[in-house]
Structure 1
Amino acid sequence: MADKQSFTQDEWITILMSPTIAGMAITAADPSGLWGMLKESFASGTALATAKSDPSADPLVKAVVTDFESADGRGEIIEALKARFAGATPDDVVPKALAVLADVARILDAKAPGDAAAFKAWLEEISLKVAEASKEGGFLGFGGVRVSDAEKATLADIQKTLSA
Structure 2
Amino acid sequence: MANKTSFTEDEWTLLLESPMIAGMAVTAAEPSGLWGLLKESFAGGTALSQALSGSDTNPLVKSVVSDFTTGEARGAARDGLKAKLGDSKPAEIKTRCIDALRQVSALLAAKAPDDAVAFRNWLKQISQSTAEAASEGGGLFGGGVKVSDAEKATLGEISAALGV
Whole-Å Cα distance in 2 between the matches of residues 14 and 70 of structure 1?
16
Q: CA deviation at 1:86?
A: 3.0
Q: Deviations over 1:53-100 (max 9, x none)?
A: 111100000001011111001000111011111342222011000111
Q: CA deviation at 1:142?
A: 2.8
Q: CA deviation at 1:15?
A: 0.9
Q: Which residue in 1 is equivalent to 2:132?
A: 132
On the 8 A contact 1:135/1:141 being kept in 2, the answer is: no
Q: Which residue in 2 is equivalent to 1:84?
A: 84
Q: TM-score, normalised by structure 1?
A: 0.97
Q: Secondary structure at the match of 1:144?
A: coil
Q: Which residue in 2 is equivalent to 1:162?
A: 162
Q: Secondary structure at the match of 2:150?
A: helix
On the 8 A contact 1:101/1:162 being kept in 2, the answer is: yes
Q: CA deviation at 1:138?
A: 1.5
Q: CA deviation at 1:141?
A: 2.9
Whole-Å Cα distance in 2 between the matches of residues 141 and 159 of structure 1?
32
On the 8 A contact 1:27/1:131 being kept in 2, the answer is: yes
Q: Which residue in 2 is equivalent to 1:17?
A: 17
Q: Deviations over 1:30-71 (max 9, x none)?
A: 010000000000000000001111111000000010111110
Whole-Å Cα distance in 1 between the matches of residues 86 and 32 of structure 2?
22
Q: Alignment identity in percent?
A: 54
Whole-Å Cα distance in 2 between the matches of residues 154 and 15 of structure 1?
20
RMSD of equivalent CA atoms:
1.0
Counterpart amino acid of residue 162 in structure 2: L
Unaligned runs of 5+ in 1: none
The aligned length equals 164
Q: Deviations over 1:76-130 (max 9, x none)?
A: 0111011111342222011000111010000000000000000000000000000
Q: TM-score, normalised by structure 2?
A: 0.97
Counterpart amino acid of residue 130 in structure 2: V
Whole-Å Cα distance in 2 between the matches of residues 95 and 116 of structure 1?
22
Q: Which residue in 1 is equivalent to 2:143?
A: 143
Q: Which residue in 2 is equivalent to 1:45?
A: 45
